[in-house]
Amino acid sequence: MAAEGSILPHVGRLLVLLPGLGAVTTTFLAGVEAVRRKLAYPFGSLSQLGELEGMDGHGQVLRNALPLAPLEDLVFATWDIFPDDAYEAARQAKVLSEQDLAAVEDFLRSICPMPAVFDPQYVRRLNGPHVKRAPTKRHLAEALCEDIHKALQETGASRAVLIWCASTEVYIPPAPCHHSLKAFEAALEANDPAIPPSQIYAYAALRMGIPYANGAPNVSADIPALEELAELNQVPIAGKDFKTGQTLLKTVIAPALRRRLLGVQGWFSVNILGNRDGWVLEDEGSFRAKEVTKTGVLEGLLPAEQYPELYGELYHKVRIHYYPPRGDAKESWDAIDIVGWMGYPMHIKINFQCRDSILAAPVVLDVALFLDLAHRAGWHGVQSWLGFYFKSPHVRREESVEHDLFVQYGRLQQALTNLARLPAKLTVSEST
Ligand SMILES: NC(=O)c1ccc[n+]([C@@H]2O[C@H](COP(=O)([O-])OP(=O)(O)OC[C@H]3O[C@@H](n4cnc5c(N)ncnc54)[C@H](O)[C@@H]3O)[C@@H](O)[C@H]2O)c1
């Protein structure tokens, strides 16, 4: 993105719309409020703690260099298939302690989900009562637009962003209705099964000129029809699948091995987790969506075509097991079989004992704030520079996917630097 044009200043409130009031969303909400109340420090958030590097060779605090929406001005609305408020949902998610939840209970209790657009055909291990009924998918999209309109009015927000934090839908291969906006809209009317709920949310947001990001691995806005709508309505989109734990480390270790031209014969990645996300991922269809985003990472980082001797035999396997005792405290193991000088084998073992939603929450925050910033600068369509945050970066059709975390970080910095250089656009009252 070139540093051209101008940027609208942040004025009023920013509404963060979140389909899915589960572990990630409730941890994000509780954390934002705890930081606002000065009860917590925003660990892991570039937007809150990061520096803008490279501006005149000096680091500058990002929040001072960019007109980001401050946390105080964020307001929220969610949808879920269960009617529990954010406090009850957070208790069930069992990520945060009772003590941390009690400190923000009043705030969490004030957030009640709107009935969801949901169909168990796309998330086969879940079903819930808090869902919308309508004759067609077009009607459902319109109902979501009404929800958004109402949420904007009720919260007094001047603008919004929508981040998909709901369950992983089953893998849906590309279908004819994904190819153009016209075909997609006809398919909404015809209840085409190739359109899952996440695409209905994405369509509703984009139709209303609201930026959209997909935190899950399922196919959502990464289809030509919705890319076309994003361009048409001049809205930025990003995705997909938050890069948080095992894959974050994979995209650091693999580039290091590649730079030293060490061979890699095998990479076996295993995960155990016991939260609802893990339960959903036990289903073959949802796991397939995750497998596609998790396994695609190494191909670009360890190029077999360029170095057949080093990476031609690479065997990459990813497994996710639902294991209730662990809840959200996911554990992952990587067994990496590498090859050094004269073909001698060596082995690397990584054991990451993480907390899934603790890693994801600051990513939700950064993506929401950066998407809003991009929108105010008039940037639209696929925002490849946000690939830093995603396992399977959604890039423009003409671009190749970059997985190397440090290359992604450089691109993010460059984009933010470009945004920081934009002059503020005068509002109507200022210019007259
Ligand atoms: N935590 C991480 O580190 C991480 C990383 C990458 C991706 N993700 C993805 O983020 C998503 C959320 O993860 P989570 O741990 O919060 O899962 P979760 O199961 O705790 O929460 C998901 C929520 O979405 C709701 N839901 C399902 N379909 C819906 C629909 N159509 N509309 C509205 N609500 C719906 C469910 O009822 C549930 O409450 C998952 O898709 C997960 O794969 C998480």
pLDDT of residue 296: 81
> What does the alpha-carbon distance between residue 358 and residue 352 come to, in Å, rounded to a whole number?
14
Give the number of the atom of ligand 1 that is nearest the alpha carbon of residue 21.
Answer: 39
Q: Which atom of ligand 1 is nearest to the CA of 119?
A: 31
Tell me how far CA of residue 8 lies from CA of 48, 274, 279, in angstroms: 20, 43, 43
Element (H, E) at 287: helix 284-301
Ligand 1 within 6 A of CB of 167: yes
Atom 17 of ligand 1: nearest residue by CA position = 277
SS3 call for 209: coil
Q: How far is the CA of 264 from the centre of ligand 1 (A)?
A: 33
- Which pLDDT belongs to residue 429? 53
**Which atom of ligand 1 is the closest one to the Cα of 22?**
21
Q: Is the shortest distance between the CB of 123 and ligand 1 below 6 Å?
A: yes
Residue 394, SS3 per DSSP: coil
Closest by CA position to 286, among listed 116, 115, 166: 166
For residue 432, the CA-to-ligand 1 centroid distance in Å is: 47
The atom of ligand 1 lying closest to the CA of 27 is 16
Burial label, 116 (beta-carbon count in 10 A; 0-12, 13-18, 19+):
buried
The class that CATH gives domain 13-242+357-431 is alpha beta
Tell me if 314 sits within 8 A of 304, measured CB to CB. Answer: yes
Please tell me if the CB atom of residue 277 comes closer than 6 angstroms to any atom of ligand 1. yes
Whether residue 291 has its Cβ less than 6 Å from ligand 1: no
CA-to-CA distance for 310 and 412, rounded, in angstroms?
30
Structure tokens at 419: 């945004």
Q: For each of the chain's 432 residues, which pLDDT tens digit applies?
A: 445 689 999 999 999 999 999 999 999 999 999 999 999 999 999 999 999 986 555 678 999 999 999 999 999 999 999 999 999 999 999 999 999 999 999 999 999 999 999 999 999 988 999 999 999 999 999 999 999 999 999 999 999 999 999 999 999 999 999 999 999 999 999 999 999 999 999 999 999 999 999 999 999 999 999 999 999 999 999 999 999 999 999 999 999 999 999 999 999 999 998 888 888 888 888 888 777 777 788 988 999 999 999 999 999 999 989 999 988 888 999 999 999 999 999 999 999 999 999 999 999 999 999 999 999 999 999 999 999 999 999 999 899 999 999 999 999 999 999 999 988 886 655 544
pLDDT for 431 equals 47
- pLDDT at site 133: 96
Buried b (16+ CB within 10 A) or exposed e, 130-163: bbbeeeebbebbbbbbebbeebbeebebebbbbb
Q: Closest Cα to atom 42, ligand 1: which residue?
A: 216
Strand 58-61 with 157-164, pairing = unpaired
Domain range list for the chain: 13-242+357-431, 246-353
> Looking at residue 314, what is its pLDDT?
95
CA of 92 to the centre of ligand 1 (A): 13
Does the CB atom of residue 247 touch ligand 1 within 6 A? Answer: no
Closest atom of ligand 1 to CA, residue 166: 24
- Helices (H) and strands (E) counted in the chain, each on its own, are 17, 13
Is 247 within 8 Å of 56 (Cβ atoms)? no
Compute the distance from residue 280 Cα to the ligand 1 centre, in Å.
Answer: 9
How many A from CA of 21 to the centre of ligand 1? 7
Contacts of 193 (CB under 8 A, 6+ apart): 121
Structure tokens at 97: 């302690």
Res 428: pLDDT: 53
Q: How much is the pLDDT for 432?
A: 41
DSSP state of 221: S
Query: Which of 148, 262, 265, 251 has the alpha carbon at shortest distance from 207?
Result: 148
- Return the CATH class of domain 246-353: alpha beta
**Is any atom of ligand 1 closer than 6 Å to the C-beta of 22?**
yes
What pLDDT sits at residue 117? 98
C-alpha gyration radius of the chain: 21
Question: Does ligand 1 lie within 6 Å of residue 360's CB atom?
Answer: yes
CA of 119 to the centre of ligand 1 (A): 14
Q: How far is the CA of 297 from the centre of ligand 1 (A)?
A: 21
State both tokens at 43.
Answer: 């660990």
Nearest-CA residue for ligand 1 atom 33 is: 80
Report which of 392, 410, 409, 388 is spatially closest to residue 401, judged by C-alpha positions. 392
The 3-state DSSP class for residue 164 equals strand
Strands across the sheet containing 263-273:
315-322, 263-273, 331-340, 344-353
Euclidean distance between CA atoms 375 and 386, whole angstroms: 13
Is the beta carbon of 283 within 6 A of some atom in ligand 1? no
Q: Collapse the DSSP code of 322 into the 3-class scheme (helix H, G, I; strand E, B; otherwise coil) and give the result.
A: strand
Cβ(323) – ligand 1 distance below 6 Å? no
Question: Is ligand 1 within 6 A of the CB of residue 405?
Answer: no
- C-alpha 293: how far from chain center: 12
The confidence score (pLDDT) of residue 130 equals: 97
244 ligand 1 Cβ < 6 A: yes
